[in-house]
Amino acid sequence: MRNEITNRFIESYNNLVETGQVSDKKAFAQTIGISTSMMTEISKGRSNVGISAIQNIVKHFSISAEWLLTGAGNMFHTHSSPLLKDDQTTVTIGKHSDKNNGIPLIPIDAMAGMLSGDDHTVMEYECEYYVIPVFKGAEFLIQVKGDSMRPQYYSGDIVACKRLPLDTFFQWNRTYVIDSEQGVLIKKVEKGSDDAHITLVSENKEYRPFEIAKEKIYSLALVIGVVRAE
């Protein structure tokens, strides 16, 4: 008989499948470090989920550890409900703040440094800071330039971002900020022709999708929502 933690684990897995954040059971099992057969055993109630799998689903999919272990709070860290494939949470920028409490709005010239964690580079710029409670997981804000992501994002929109490790498991059809040999790009990510590549897709159909080698990616961040200036 499966326990309550396992029940919530399966609930979160089903949610990730429904919202397109994982493609199938095999890919999900590989990401959280268990076999496909073990995932089947868990989903059918014949086995309970282990600590390692719990740690990995929290790490790779922003599932709340508190919710998973106790049932308290929300399933996802930054939203009361998960983002769907093509949805974004849009809010008005909150009040200004000092850097101890707020999220920095990073100038475009400093984006690569912020993505790579080079705080010295970012400190060279005078950043504005904002308190945006709905985006507690966001580490920085950047402004969208150009029209390649219209109509999802317009030039002048601001996206809230969370840095990710380079060995992250990409969530297909989610939007990322990617620092690469082609510069800093805001694109939707889809599966590439092989495991060594990903495909970068613009919302504006006038811009053709293109592949990039994972080894050419220097740093990246997940876009967790959109904010608009007052």
Q: What is the tens place of the pLDDT at every residue in 160-188?
A: 888 888 887 888 889 999 988 888 889 99
**pTM, rounded to two decimals:** 0.56
CA dist 129 and 9 (Å) reads 36
Cβ contacts of 23 within 8 Å, gap of 6 or more: 172
Model confidence pLDDT, tens digit, residues 62-84: 788 888 888 888 887 643 333 43
DSSP bridge partners of 140: 161
Q: Which domains does the chain have, with CATH numbers?
A: 4-70 (1.10.260.40), 90-228 (2.10.109.10)
Give the integer Cα–Cα distance in Å for 39 and 25.
7
Structure confidence at residue 112 as a pLDDT band (50, 70, 90): low
d(CA 81, CA 134): 11
Where is pLDDT greater, at 190 or 86? 190
Under 8 Å between Cβ of 2 and 43: no
99 pLDDT band (50/70/90 cuts)? low
Instruction: Identify the helix (H) or strand (E) that includes residue 4.
Output: helix 4-18
**146-157 tens-digit pLDDT:** 889 888 888 888
